Structure 1
C-alpha cells in the first residue's frame, strides 16, 4: 500500500499561508545579502571557509553518508578512511568533495574561490583512494545542475526568485538524474512465507543543485553573490503527489532554513573576527598566523604537512606558527593516530582581563618576532626580484 505523504490533502494550501512563507523567505534573503555586503575582509574569509565546511558536510549527508561528520576531521587530515558507502549512495564521498571543491574553486566571488583553493591544497581526502570511473558522477551532477539552474533563471523579470524556484522544481522532477527514485521492494522467504520489505530509495545528487542554487536567486536580483545554499533542495519537495502550493511551500521553507543557517555562519564569522583581531590584529595582513587560525577555527584542524601545502610556509615556519598561536591561547597541539594536528582554541574573556573593546592587547613576543622575520623575507625577495 502506498504511503500517504504528510502534506498530501484533499485541497491545496491556502494562498495566504504560501504568501506568508514567501514573505518570510524574502526577508531572510534580503537580510543575508545585506550581511554579506557589510563584511570586512577577515570576516569574509572566515565566513567563506565556514560556508564551505557546511556545504561539504550537507552534501555528504544528502548523498547518504551518515557518518561524514564523525569522520570528517580525521579523513580531511588523511588519517582515516572516508565515510562509509551504502546501497543508498550513488557515488563515493571522495567524488562528492572533489567535485564540489573543483567547482567552487572557480566561483566568481573571489573570497569563496580562494577559500576553496586553500582547502583543496590542504585536503588529504583522497590520500588512500585511487581515482575510479564512478567518481565522474559528481562532475556530471554539477554540470547538469548548472544547466538546469541556468534554464530556470532565464527571462526572470521578477524582483523575487519564487517563479525561478518553481521552474527549477519542475525541471528537477522531469530530470532522470535528480527526480526522486521509487522505493524498492525486496521479497524473501521466512518460515515458509514470502515476506516483502520496502527498502529506502537511493539518493539522487541534489547536493549539486544546492551548490548552483544561488544562480537562481542572483538572477532575480535577490542576491549579489550566487553562493551555494546547503540543504536547500530536498527530495520531499519533488514528490509527485504534492499539490502545486504544497510543493512551493516545502521549497521555500527548506530554502529559508538554509538561509537561516548561512546567516548564523555570518554571525559566527564576526565573533571569530573579533577574537583574531584582538589577539593578532597588530600583524600585517599577509601574516601566516591569522590565516592559519582562520582555517583552524572555521574548517578543521591541520597537520604540519597540510600547513606547508596550503599556506606556503616551511616546516620550520609551521612550528613557529604553532608556538605563536599556542602562546596566544588560540590553538593547541593534539595527537591523533600518531600525527600531530594544530587545533583551534577560541579564546574567551578572562575575569580581570581588559575587554577587547576597551584596549588593545599587547602583541605576544613570539608572534611579533615571527611576523618581523616574514616581513624581512618579503623585503629580501622584493629587492632580489628588482635586480633581475
Structure 2
C-alpha cells in the first residue's frame, strides 16, 4: 500500500511526463528544432560534468569552438572530453528523432575542441573507442530489460539492472598497498587511496528516451539528463533497508524533475521560435539569416568557422548574414584569444514576448485532441497503479 506522500510523488511524476508528451505533440517544427539543439548541448554538458570535468557554460562554448581548454585543471579520472563528445554526437546521429539526428550530424564537424592529451593519435582513438564501448554497454543493458508500459516500474528496473552492472554500478574508493625501496622511508610499505572512477550513467540517460518511445510513452526519443540516481544505484547492494524503501519515492521525484526540466526547455524553445518569427529577419525567400539566428538561439555561442560549415555558406555570405542580425540589434559578440564568438541578443525585443500559458496559445483542434489523448493515457496508467490524480493539477 502506497503512503500518501509516495502516491503524490508518483502522481506528480506521471503528470509531468504526460505534460511533456503533450507539449511535444503540439510543438511546431521550429520549436522542435530549437529544442533539439538545446537538448544536444545540455546532454554534452551533463555528460562532461558527470565525468568530473569542472567548467561554466561559457567555458564549454569556448572549448567547443576551439579557443580554450575545458578546464584549467583537468580531472584525473575523467574520460577525455573531446573523445566523449565525439562518441555522443556519433550515437545521436542514429537517433530515431530526425531533428536530433540532423543536429548531431551537423555539429560533428562543428566540434573544434582541442585534441585530448598531447596530440597522440593512438591515445585519442583509444579514448574514443572507450567512450563508444560505454555506449555499447548501455545499449546491451537496455536490450535485456523486460518491456514495461509503466514509467516508474521501468525506471526502477533500469536502476536495479545498472546497480548490478560491472560498469554502471558506482565505484568505491580503493586503498592499494605500494612497496617502497628499502632505503626509502625506512623501507616501510605505504598505502595509496585511489579515486573512484565516475559512474558513466550519462550513457543510460542518453539512450533511455528510446525505451519510452518504444513503449508509446513519448513521441520522440529524448535523452534524459539527470534521470539516474547514484544513491538508488547504491541502494541495490546496500543493507540499509530504509534507503531501499525510500527508493521508489526518490525515483518518482527524479522523474518529475527531469520531465519538468525538459518541459521548461521545450517551453523556452517555443518562446524563442515565436520571437525569432516576430523579428522579421530575412524576408527574402533565399535569406539564410533566420537559420543562423536559430542556430545561435538554440545551441549558443559559435565562431564563424563553425557557422560556415553548419550553414554551408562562404565567409563572405556569413559576413553578410551576421551584418543583417547586427543591424537588427539581435547579435552579441565576445572575443577570446582573438576569436569572435557570436550569440543572440533578444533583450531589446520584449514587445514580442509570448505568453507561455497553454490556455492563451492558439492550437488547432487536432493538436488539442492529441494533448487530451496523451493525458487520457496518463490517467489510465495512474488508475492502473492505484494513484488518483487531482484535477486541480491538470489545470495548472
Instruction: State the TM-score, normalizing by the size of structure 2.
Output: 0.77
Q: Which residue of 2 is the match for residue 300 of structure 1?
A: 300
Shift of 1:127: 5.2
Summarize the Cα distance change of 1:195–1:119 in structure 2 as closer, same or farther, 3 Å threshold: same
Summarize the Cα distance change of 1:246–1:332 in structure 2 as closer, same or farther, 3 Å threshold: same
1:106 matched to 2:94: yes
Shift of 1:305: 1.4
Contact 2:82 2:115 in 1 (8 A): no
Please, which runs of 5 or more residues in structure 2 have no aligned partner? 179-184, 355-396
Contact 1:46 1:273 in 2 (8 A): yes
Q: 1: distance between equivalents of 2:33 and 2:173?
A: 42
1:133 matched to 2:126: yes
Shift of 1:187: 8.5
Contact 1:164 1:216 in 2 (8 A): no
Q: Which residue of 2 is the match for residue 361 of structure 1?
A: none
Instruction: State the TM-score, normalizing by the size of structure 1.
Output: 0.78
User: What is the total number of aligned residue pairs between the two structures?
Assistant: 337
1:253 matched to 2:234: no
- Residue by residue over 1:215-249, the C-alpha shift from the partner in whole angstroms, topping out at 9 and shown as x without a partner, is 33223322121210011112221012254432222
Summarize the Cα distance change of 1:278–1:247 in structure 2 as closer, same or farther, 3 Å threshold: same
Q: Which residue of 2 is the match for residue 97 of structure 1?
A: 85
Within 5 Å, give how 1:57-76 maps onto structure 2: 57-67=45-55, 69-76=57-64
- Residue by residue over 1:240-267, the C-alpha shift from the partner in whole angstroms, topping out at 9 and shown as x without a partner, is 2254432222223223222111111011
Contact 2:281 2:325 in 1 (8 A): no
Q: Which residue of 1 is the match for residue 311 of structure 2?
A: 311
Contact 1:149 1:215 in 2 (8 A): no
Q: Which residue of 2 is the match for residue 235 of structure 1?
A: 230
Q: 1: distance between equivalents of 2:40 and 2:247?
A: 28
Within 5 Å, give how 1:169-188 maps onto structure 2: 169-185=159-175
RCO comparison, higher one (Cα < 8 Å, 6+) = 2
Partner SS for 1:232: coil
Within 5 Å, give how 1:14-53 maps onto structure 2: 15-53=3-41
Summarize the Cα distance change of 1:356–1:142 in structure 2 as closer, same or farther, 3 Å threshold: closer
Q: 1: distance between equivalents of 2:102 and 2:160?
A: 34
- Residue by residue over 1:312-347, the C-alpha shift from the partner in whole angstroms, topping out at 9 and shown as x without a partner, is 001100100100011111113332211122221124
Summarize the Cα distance change of 1:170–1:284 in structure 2 as closer, same or farther, 3 Å threshold: farther
Q: 1: distance between equivalents of 2:286 and 2:165?
A: 46
Q: 2: distance between equivalents of 1:87 and 1:333?
A: 34
Partner SS for 1:213: helix
1:330 matched to 2:330: yes
Q: Which residue of 1 is the match for residue 273 of structure 2?
A: 273
Shift of 1:87: 3.1
Summarize the Cα distance change of 1:286–1:172 in structure 2 as closer, same or farther, 3 Å threshold: farther
Q: 2: distance between equivalents of 1:310 and 1:95?
A: 20
Q: 2: distance between equivalents of 1:77 and 1:164?
A: 38
Please, which runs of 5 or more residues in structure 1 have no aligned partner? 1-12, 358-388
